[in-house]
Amino acid sequence: MPAPDAYIPQRELLARPVRREAVGRALRAARVAAGLNKQQAAAASGLSRHSLMRLEAGSGSMNLDRLWSLARAYSTTPSAILAAAEADGAAETLKP
């Protein structure tokens, strides 16, 4: 079970939306590169279209199982998606 927000450092809480948006942009880019629309991606990954839209918008949290499912649907790897998110200009501001 995740730690309550009261136990998470303020810097980490502020970084969450930036990270989620960077991952969302990386997911969208991977989907587009795979030539899939949102409905096709949802069907191929087992996620609902609504969940996929939330993840791409950066408003949803993702577990590793979802990341693996999406990567497989996009014919890529979870590490490639995360690398794209790390290379995102906004996410660069979060590096130590």
- Nearest 5°: CA angle at 94, between 59 and 81? 60
Residues sharing a CB contact under 8 Å with residue 58, sequence separation 6 or more, in sequence order? 17, 20, 21, 22, 23, 24, 25
pLDDT computed for residue 47 by the predictor:
96
DSSP-derived secondary structure for 38-73 = HHHHHHHHT--HHHHHHHHHT-S---HHHHHHHHHH
Residue 94: pLDDT above 80? no
Both tokens of 9, joined, read 């450092």
pLDDT computed for residue 77 by the predictor:
98
How far is it, in rounded angstroms, from Cα 60 to Cα 37? 19
Residue of 45 and 10 predicted with greater confidence: 45
**Structure confidence by residue, pLDDT tens digits, 57-91:** 999 889 999 999 999 999 999 999 999 998 987 76
pLDDT computed for residue 92 by the predictor:
63
